[in-house]
Structure 1
Amino acid sequence: MVASTHWLASATGMGVLERGGNAFDAAVAAGFVLQVAEPHLNGPGGEVPILLWSEAEQKVSVVSGQGVAPSAATIERFTELGLDLVPGTGLLAATVPGAFGGWMLMLERWGTWSLADVLAPAIHYAEHGVPVLERVSTTIESVKALFTDAWTTSAATWLPGGNVPAAGTKLANPVLAATYRRLVAEAEAASSTREGQLEAARKAWYEGFVAEAIADFCAKTAWLDSSGEAHGGLLTADDLAAWRPAVEEPLTFDYRGHTVCKTGPWGQGPVFLQQLALLEGFDLDAMGHLGADWIHTVTEAAKLAFADREAWYGDTDVPMADLLSKEYNAERRRLIGAQASLELRPGAPGGRTPRLPVYPDPSTIPGAPGLSGARAPQGVGEPTVGRVDTGEQVISADGTVKGDTCHVDVVDRFGNMVSATPSGGWLQSSPTIPELGFCLGTRAQMFWLQEGLPASLRPGARPRTTLSPSFALRDGKPWLAFGTPGGDQQDQWSVNFFLAVVHGKANLQASIDAAMFHTEHFPSSFYPRASRPGVLHVEDRVDAGVVAELRRRGHEVEVADSWSLGRLSAVARDGDLLKAAANPRGAQGYAVGR
């Protein structure tokens, strides 16, 4: 089974399985196709965290394909530039592009296919073109002036003939196809073995021609970014050569016979576990799925967990044992009352004193509401495309999420399973590197330019990413790989899905199809780091009486259109059956199997 956010990626993964590849081969091939099919949501310059179950090893592993801050990326350097936030677009926000290394590590350690075989579908689609999604066309339209006036290398790639590609037409990226063809050629010239070729490809990317092009572009060019000024980049060839993807143990939490696995707190994944730790003290079964009590309780638990994310998470020593302990969560659970909280309330795990960042006033930030046209580069958040006239990260009045990221899940005939969330390096994040056909990511915008915080900018540190694949065991046996795009919403939408399966007793597709909700109560991870205390989004399929009751309890409810929130996919092992489901919203996600 393969399920993902785009039908071409799912079909590609299934083709790999049909031809004898395993889940790891299929996920890698699908991941590279996502770069071509959803270029507004991910790209080669981005990153990928992966959770996987190896049937041979009988364990869950985390692959951290999240790159780190450059050695020159210090708070002092940004202060010298007159910045108190890392820009949301442009070269200053780039970390080492970790997606390629992450995919290669999984392929080498657990896969069976060659580099040429897994890259062949992506090369084909990049060379010959893919049907343009309406959202791709809309995204490019929103940044056309920026590309034409300022990011001219991006115009050459994404405005063929100077025009925005229309939805349904084909869009190719022959330069990216040539980059991947060269990688394959250099790898095959360097070694006759699969493992040797994969190592040669990694060297070509992080120490060879790809690294050289990235380093030259950062050092020798400067581009307008969301600060309103032009800046060069900080990434160097040494930064790329020094980085390696890592294999780590997952963080886990046991919830009613299920063991949920997430990345460490260098990402936001543990907030999923913290929400479960709070919710296990409530009788959700008695509340009824999507009733007022259910939505209120789940939302208030999310507010507390994400407040802890703000105070405690980062690529550092985080007191996760205390944050997940029964004693801590019993105390925190008492904060969930009958009325909606409008405060950001981090806890004090182990008696430690929480410290929150000093949040900026959006009205004083360049690139926030007030700028327009080419001086307000888009792509400042995830959702990745805000209002065209301001660059503001928003959910539009009709509730439509303006872009997000990608996800792919795979389970094979052997029982191997993969949950991967590739993102970053989207076409509107940074100018295209002309020799490579892709742009760098902007994940460094998640660092704080304030000293002494877990997520403070430090050379060699990973940003506290929102990318959050999920995996769960049931009664100790591998069961469910799942995830969703959506930035800060990922570990709300995924929690809602999981609770619908566990408590609502619904099947995978019905749980994905169920009306979705999330809060914007806590500060965004993305420039300009805004928050909307008390705001709760619900799809209009939620009962009107429930909405009225939520408002009575103090929630600032904003009703979104039907089928507009969430983009989940999932695969499962259920006894001797394999199952899969994908998101119907946008008529783009796809689940396939046999």
Structure 2
Amino acid sequence: MAIDGFTTRPELAGTFGMVASTHYLATAAGMAILERGGNAFDAAVAAAFTLHVVEPHLNGPAGDAPIILATAADPVPRVLCGQGPAPAAATVERFEELGLDLIPGTGQLAAVVPGAMGAWLTLLRDHGTLPLRDVIEFALGYAEHGHPLAAGVARTIGAVAEQFRTHWTDSAAQWLPGGQAPVAGQMLALPALAATYRRLLSEAEAAGSDREAQIEAAYQAWYQGFVAEAIDAFGAHEVMDESGRAHRGLLSGADLAAWRPGYEPTASLDWHGVTVHKAGAWSQGPALLLQLGMLEALGELPPHGSAERIHRVTEVAKLAFADREAYFGDSPEAFAALPDLLDPAYLKSRAALVGESASAELRPGSAGGRTPRLAAFLDSPAALADSGSVADAMVSVEKAEANGRTRGDTCHIDVVDRWGNIVSATPSGAWLQSNPTIPELGFCLGTRAQMFWLERGLPNSLAPGKRPRTTLSPSMLTRDGVAVTAFGTPGGDQQDQWQLLFLLNHVVDGLDLQASIDAPAWHSTALPNSFTPRTRAPLDVVVEGRFPQEVFDGLRGRGHIPVRSGPWSLGRISAVSRDPGTGVLRAGANPRGMQGYAAGR
């Protein structure tokens, strides 16, 4: 058992390059690029394009992709923001006219500017070395000639097959060959997506032989050319969504043309001899930093695997995510609050609230003397869920509800090369079950706008041109100013809880990357779900079944409601690292789901 040091796989070690991702075909594509002489950024882009094809229920070309990177020449991590903003027509007033209190979790109203492709093309142009053709050929081949369908994709298609047949017939045409849901292992080609990639390459190479000019031409084709035109035209279609009504889209070609991904500094915290780097307050990433700071203020951790440790970590998570709800968002107020949220005195005062018993309250603090404000919805009975129901929804990404809602999830990629380039990325959104397939393009739009509040005056209130507060949360560690580790996980609101466990296992307990990933996991569902229907279960703590019974009993004795999950069900972390002194590279990947792999030499 991992709690005693047992691991499912060895931690990989070498000196040439390491790739870890949530699907072995993406990992293999990234590794093949390194073998050709490409760098970590070339490899990450190849892996990302491959994930669009082989994990389409978890991400797509029109999704989102926050990226943290550090180069051999400049080892200070930076964020490349592949999170697109709300359309110009997306206003609170528009949703009020439609009679909606929450943005639907499916359909056109929830679409934001697709950020993933822009981020990957920007990363390739600015930091890669290979032309677009080299890095897209793996995805193009799998889309054109087919690939063995992963079990999770097949289950997702099966869950939404009736929705496709009844309402989203363009999706049915692509995902239900012969009118039937495909089965795991079946070869499935995506000819419309392949044609999109072929045309993208054609327009790129028409720009001449210069690599950067080709990539820029591809960018223009996507955001101002044939892709943007198809997205603009599709927005006029009425699409049935989970509200039970059909709505036209708000996203336009002009929204795509007006956006560019940008570089930003990370949010960071010094902790246990390393500096932890996350995306800024427009993401949930700083919640990891808040948890680390509070745990540091509480002193030595209880023993690994004990009910005492689970209790302490869970209570700290509740406080950190309460602050997320009150302060995080793409707003000047959120950016101004972040230094106060990370102030050691504030974190110490917050940590002092952790008691011997589980708290059911959502308790944001007064960072910098501010008066915290939560969305009014969170005080309503509708925000509270029955015990176990939130856990079930968060663990399963392939279960359809009566209204057609099916929760999507996320992918993750980490790459490090022999030169010291390193990247962590968490692509997600534009799941095949998010929106109808756009027939001319072979992919669908995302639904990230469902994370906005329609209540005015909150840091995460909907506004045109504003980024939704995303759950996507890549991570990087530096030591003495040099990037040494990249890691992350899918999991929505759980991402910065599971990553916290990884850090405690690896940095505090001294487990290697793979053992830190394999160790039994848990998470709280006391925090409000960032996705519709935005509910929470205040006392639930979801715990993998590998923990002994005395742990469950100990949690119950502290007032928690322990929800027993499968023995290998929580977390999908992958990680890579580099020792600057020796040049040794290491990697590990999640065995849960039997799909994530690391490769390297």
Q: What is the TM-score normalised by the length of structure 1? A: 0.94
Q: CA deviation at 1:182?
A: 0.2
2:269 matches 1:253: yes
Distance in 2 separating the partners of 1:284 and 1:40: 41
Partner of 1:326: 344
2:591 matches 1:584: yes
On the 8 A contact 1:483/1:570 being kept in 2, the answer is yes
On the 8 A contact 2:67/2:80 being kept in 1, the answer is yes
Partner of 1:477: 482
Q: CA deviation at 1:283?
A: 3.2
On the 8 A contact 1:539/1:562 being kept in 2, the answer is yes
Distance in 1 separating the partners of 2:164 and 2:378: 28
2:163 matches 1:171: no
Q: 1:311 corresponds to which letter in structure 2? A: A
Give the SS at the match of 1:143. helix
Q: Which deviations, in whole Å up to 9, do the C-alpha atoms of 1:258-280 show, x marking residues without a partner?
A: 10000001010000001011011
Partner of 1:507: 512
2:350 matches 1:350: no
Alignment of 1:179-578 (within 5 A): 179-219=196-236, 221-285=237-301, 287-317=302-332, 318=334, 319-359=337-377, 384-389=397-402, 404-574=409-579, 575-578=582-585
Give the SS at the match of 1:259. strand
Q: CA deviation at 1:116?
A: 1.2
Alignment counterpart, residue 139 of structure 2, candidates 108, 112, 122: 122
Distance in 2 separating the partners of 1:570 and 1:264: 21
Q: Which deviations, in whole Å up to 9, do the C-alpha atoms of 1:44-79 show, x marking residues without a partner?
A: 110100001111122211000000100000000010
Give the SS at the match of 2:77. strand
The ranges of structure 1 where at least 4 consecutive aligned residues each deviate by more than 2 angstroms after the TM superposition are 282-285, 360-365, 380-393, 474-477
Distance in 2 separating the partners of 1:192 and 1:262: 37
Q: Which deviations, in whole Å up to 9, do the C-alpha atoms of 1:309-364 show, x marking residues without a partner?
A: 00000001221110000111111111001001100000111111000001269997
Q: CA deviation at 1:383?
A: 6.0
On the 8 A contact 1:284/1:503 being kept in 2, the answer is no
Give the SS at the match of 1:280. helix
Distance in 1 separating the partners of 2:253 and 2:158: 34
Distance in 2 separating the partners of 1:145 and 1:283: 53
Alignment of 1:70-219 (within 5 A): 70-219=87-236
Q: What is the TM-score normalised by the length of structure 2? A: 0.93
Q: CA deviation at 1:504?
A: 1.4
Q: CA deviation at 1:288?
A: 1.1
Q: CA deviation at 1:308?
A: 0.4
On the 8 A contact 1:289/1:503 being kept in 2, the answer is no
The range that moved more, 76-85 or 188-197, is: 188-197
Give the SS at the match of 1:440. coil
Q: 1:11 corresponds to which letter in structure 2? A: A
Q: 1:488 corresponds to which letter in structure 2? A: D
2:60 matches 1:43: yes
Q: 1:560 corresponds to which letter in structure 2? A: S
Q: 2:600 corresponds to which letter in structure 1? A: G
Distance in 1 separating the partners of 2:490 and 2:271: 24
Q: CA deviation at 1:543?
A: 2.0
On the 8 A contact 1:322/1:350 being kept in 2, the answer is yes
On the 8 A contact 2:68/2:476 being kept in 1, the answer is yes
Give the SS at the match of 2:365. coil
Q: 2:129 corresponds to which letter in structure 1? A: T
Q: 1:583 corresponds to which letter in structure 2? A: N
Distance in 2 separating the partners of 1:269 and 1:537: 21
2:21 matches 1:4: yes
Change (3 A) 1:419 1:238: same
On the 8 A contact 1:382/1:404 being kept in 2, the answer is no
Q: 2:504 corresponds to which letter in structure 1? A: L
Distance in 2 separating the partners of 1:181 and 1:268: 36
On the 8 A contact 2:408/2:433 being kept in 1, the answer is no
User: Structure 1: any 5+ residue segments left out of the alignment?
Assistant: 370-379, 394-401
On the 8 A contact 1:443/1:463 being kept in 2, the answer is yes
Q: Which deviations, in whole Å up to 9, do the C-alpha atoms of 1:227-254 show, x marking residues without a partner?
A: 1100010011110100000111101000
Q: 1:105 corresponds to which letter in structure 2? A: T
Distance in 2 separating the partners of 1:403 and 1:513: 23
Give the SS at the match of 2:331. coil
Distance in 2 separating the partners of 1:381 and 1:425: 18
On the 8 A contact 2:106/2:405 being kept in 1, the answer is no
Distance in 1 separating the partners of 2:578 and 2:487: 12
Q: CA deviation at 1:191?
A: 2.9
Distance in 2 separating the partners of 1:118 and 1:141: 31
Q: CA deviation at 1:390?
A: 5.8
Give the SS at the match of 1:97. coil
Aligned-CA RMSD value: 1.7
Change (3 A) 1:5 1:44: same
Distance in 2 separating the partners of 1:258 and 1:416: 18
Distance in 1 separating the partners of 2:405 and 2:553: 29
On the 8 A contact 1:3/1:571 being kept in 2, the answer is yes
Alignment of 1:6-25 (within 5 A): 6-25=23-42
Distance in 1 separating the partners of 2:250 and 2:453: 17
Partner of 2:14: none
Change (3 A) 1:340 1:275: same
Distance in 2 separating the partners of 1:49 and 1:442: 16
Change (3 A) 1:105 1:30: same
Distance in 1 separating the partners of 2:585 and 2:325: 38
Q: Which deviations, in whole Å up to 9, do the C-alpha atoms of 1:394-444 show, x marking residues without a partner?
A: xxxxxxxx7621001000010110100000001000000000000000000
Distance in 1 separating the partners of 2:515 and 2:253: 48
On the 8 A contact 2:75/2:482 being kept in 1, the answer is no
Give the SS at the match of 1:59. coil
Q: 2:329 corresponds to which letter in structure 1? A: G
The range that moved more, 289-298 or 507-516, is: 289-298
On the 8 A contact 1:308/1:347 being kept in 2, the answer is yes
Q: CA deviation at 1:186?
A: 0.6
Q: 1:355 corresponds to which letter in structure 2? A: R
Q: CA deviation at 1:284?
A: 3.7
Q: 1:9 corresponds to which letter in structure 2? A: A
